[in-house]
Amino acid sequence: MNHITPKPLKKGNTIAFIAPAGSIKDADAIERAKQYFENNGYNVICSKHLFDQNKYMSDTDKNRLEDLHWAFSNKDINAIICARGGYGCLRLIDKIDYDLIRNNPKIFCGYSDITILSAMFLKNAGLITYSGPMARGDFGLEEIKPYTITNFFNTVAEGKQIKIKAEKIYKSGCAKGITFGGNLASVVSLCGIDFIPDEDFIFFAEDLNEPVYKIDKMFTQLLNIEKFRKNIKGLILGDFLDSGYPEQLDELLEEIAQKYDIPTLGGYKITHDKEKITVPYGELCEIKNDTLII
């Protein structure tokens, strides 16, 4: 499937905030995010069910799906930024109209549970999305992190090349492929369906509040899949926040790099933390010894 790169974000464009996963309890943060974009020359529309709630999710599956389809089908909307992660995207993937996504390509940005949508949009619609900041936890901060903002606009508006040296080298080498991965637990939740790219990929990963043994289990589960082992050509590691026992985590990542003989670089600001880079999801990239180039 040919991959589709959405048009870059421009001043005057309209951005939709949607919540396909967890519920939004702090409306003030969404208002701050809205004001940030409007003050910088963009228009913002909030989806109909953005502030609704169904248990731990933002409204029912039907209504969250309705908001997702609305954001892609509305010709006046140029970009979609998810409000937050949490949980809920997995419940939508068998109901999404992927032809609608393919025929209405536009910027789509988020991380954490939103990883599930990025993976499925790439697989079933060929759409390149963005693993990056969200409305509530990033643009909605009382003090937005300049690093996050600069990297976001450099990627989605300017289309600038990402070229960052690793802080940690587990295994040096060279590799090429498309970017694929994101939040590790979210990717693993897709096991059992057809979600792995058919081409070579560089897998990037991060997570939050997962102990080392669970990180081990999740990487092992993915690497037990023949297609995953065949197509992975490199590994880019972000933060595994609050995992405990950092020495054990380093040992695990070193073991993976050596066992599967793939270039493995770490220390990237792919993270649940406030300072983060924005990674195009499905874009061709390259590892050159100690550097990631997208």
Tell me which residues are annotated as active site.
112, 206, 272
Give the pairing type, strands 174-183 and 284-288: antiparallel
Residue 96 CA to residue 221 CA, distance in Å, equals: 26
C-alpha distances out from residue 165 to 15, 19, 109, 256, 288, Å: 32, 34, 24, 20, 9
Query: Residue 270 has which token pair?
Result: 């792919």
Give the residues across from 81 on adjacent strands. Answer: 17, 109
C-alpha distances out from residue 176 to 168, 227, 291, 292, Å: 19, 17, 12, 10
Query: Residue 198 has which token pair?
Result: 């058919």
Residue type (1 letter), 29? A
Would you tell me how many other CB atoms lie within 10 Å of the CB of residue 40? Answer: 10
Residue 108's nearest CA partner among 135, 88, 86 is 135
3-state secondary structure of 230: helix
60's CB contacts (< 8 A; 6+ apart) are 54
Residue 111 CA to residue 133 CA, distance in Å, equals: 7
